Structure 1
């Protein structure tokens, strides 16, 4: 039996004095010996934390006991060891960066796409009048995505608003959005509605919940996650591998961060190329004097990175 859990969650709910809340919340998480990464903004919380089952249960109870966050849903994974090295809790302007100068034009608490539970989403994905839209970044959907999904050439979610015009051809379709845990879809679907898309939906709980409740059917490849696991399995019904090694083109499910911290590129890389290039994405990166030691995982704490502070 696995001794640890990893919790993925978010909640859009106004937080007064959010910067101070972030500092206090960091202290609370450390008191439970949790590790993870939490973003706090006036609009709510976005976090992934990991620790013993007892610590995670105590954390979930505390979050739900706060009336501001009582509606929070946690995606729970059983893990062999904690999924982070440090505990970070930071204050930022948004819990997921939308790239909008005027963030007031969308408010997930007021208007978003219709939420579809995993089984409902599963029933709709093959309909002729449906478009499945992946709102994640390139490195995420290159590792895995839903069958026949429309993907966008974006490096970060903040680039999503610039792609709205490319999606105009789908305005007469039912647009089903999805992301890892649901948080990006809250803003993506709201933005689509703002721009005149009338029939917009979102996968409630994202890919992670879909894997747990619908077996992950028709999700091809693996799901990128923002912790030291890097990628997790989703599909237990008809699994497949769709990602290819960035260097040689061999089919591989493995994703790494380049060992050169000044590059830190997210790439899929087979074990053979990983050994040959010492975990780097290119020969040039192997010569960087700050190159990190490759241990076969391709996961590193970002360098430089302030630890255990609430920062803007």
Structure 2
């Protein structure tokens, strides 16, 4: 039996952390001592991370997290991978582990009130009932490449826009709302917000799409699941898989997502191999004509380097669907 050389862990935990900034610095040292790579957000409200390393290092990390005592309810989603899913290790303090878009993030507390957690087998059993609405709480670039069959999706570029969209869901107040996201973390706040706004029958897929793929075979999840690491997307459906995304340039069916080779654009979009080589990894002819574009090697993945602030880029971001560099999902 082939054993993968590395593992990737996806996880989160809402649990209060005192002196969270100091904790973030110490946590970074722990990860570096284990030669882990990845991206972790630490906030007063808890942890949110994706890390990658050898199986031994990942086990040592999980043991350390559980030994802390504050994070005993953490559920790690473990993937065997052939290569590390990140280049570097980052562990940073932020106001929230998922940006809620609220002026006062303390308006909601996932430790006090969230939707009813559904295990994957229970989500599978409920999702096709007549009085059920399946709600995808992820951003455009995520649900464009994969989503549950018949799911309602929202036109948002970042989860912080979710509160503004709740009014659009008023028509479903008499339904059972089944929320889902990649690993469960966004649903903790999304379901809490829905309850706060008067929705009464709110549920969430515990462990998200990733756990659903592992425990329920990913049935009726169409396309691929976007992940916040170098893999970009992963397969989750082993029962009735399909591809739902199309090439931005020619419209052919493809699940390949890349970053535009023009670093000042950097749009995350789906592009087939043929258009990738023809467009040199760019999303448009305008981007193709820009100087100093990154060299396209067929993957569309580029090691992130700091870019100069560009006002045109800032304006362009408002109309593009690609993830902020600080976003992490568990």
Calculate the TM-score normalised by the size of structure 1: 0.96
Which SS does the other structure have where 2:228 is aligned?
Answer: coil
> 2:49 aligns to what SS in structure 1?
strand
Indicate if the aligned counterparts of 1:135 and 1:184 stay in contact, CA closer than 8 A: yes
CA distance in 2, matches of 1:94, 1:301: 26
Q: Deviations over 1:103-126 (max 9, x none)?
A: 121100000000000000000010
Once the two structures are overlaid, the 10-residue window that deviates more, 176-185 or 258-267, is 258-267
User: Secondary structure of 1:69's match?
Assistant: coil
1:248 aligns with 2:267: no
- For 1:64-90, what per-residue CA distance to the aligned partner results, in whole angstroms no more than 9, with x for missing partners? 111111110000000001100010111
Report deviation, 1:177: 0.2
Give the SS at the match of 1:9: strand
* Structure 1 position 199 matched with structure 2 position 194: no
Cα deviation, 1:198-225, whole Å, max 9, x if unaligned, reads 0000000000000000000000000000
Q: Among residues 15, 34, 37, which one is paired with 2:36 in the alignment?
A: 34
How many Å apart are 1:288 and its aligned residue? 2.5
Contact residue 4 and residue 79 of structure 1 kept, 8 A: yes
Please identify runs of 4+ aligned residues in structure 1 that moved more than 3 A: none
Alpha-carbon distance between aligned partners in 2 of 1:90 and 1:104, rounded to the nearest angstrom: 20
**Match runs of 1:117-128 below 5 Å:** 117-128=119-130
Corresponding position of 2:213: 211
- The gaps in structure 1 that reach 5 residues or longer are 306-312
Structure-to-structure mapping, 1:117-156, within 5 angstroms? 117-156=119-158
Asked if 2 retains the 8 angstrom alpha-carbon contact of 1:261 and 1:303, the reply is: no
- Partner of residue 168 from structure 2, selected from 146, 166, 169: 166
Equivalent pair of 1:230/1:299 in contact (CA under 8 Å): no
SS state at 1:68 partner:
coil
Bigger CA drift: 288-297 or 22-31? 288-297
Contact 1:121 1:203 in 2 (8 A): yes
Give unmatched runs, 5+ long, in structure 2: 308-330
Pick from 154, 176, 179: which aligns with 1:177?
A: 179
**More displaced 10-residue stretch of structure 1: 266-275 or 295-304:** 295-304
Q: CA separation in 2, counterparts of 1:287 and 1:64? A: 51
Paired residues for 1:296-307 under 5 Å: 296-304=298-306
Cα distance in 2 for partners of 1:83, 1:145 equals 23
Q: What SS does the aligned partner of 2:9 have?
A: strand
- Structure 1 residue 257: deviation in Å? 1.3
Compared CA separation, residues 290 and 44, structure 1 to 2 (3 A)? farther
Q: Give 1:265 deviation, angstroms.
A: 0.9
Aligned counterpart for 1:269 among listed residues 268, 271, 287: 271
When normalised by structure 2's length, the TM-score is 0.91
Alignment of 1:237 onto 2:239:
yes
Distance 1:299 1:213 in 2: 30
Deviation at 1:277, TM superposition (A): 1.1
Q: How many residues align?
A: 305
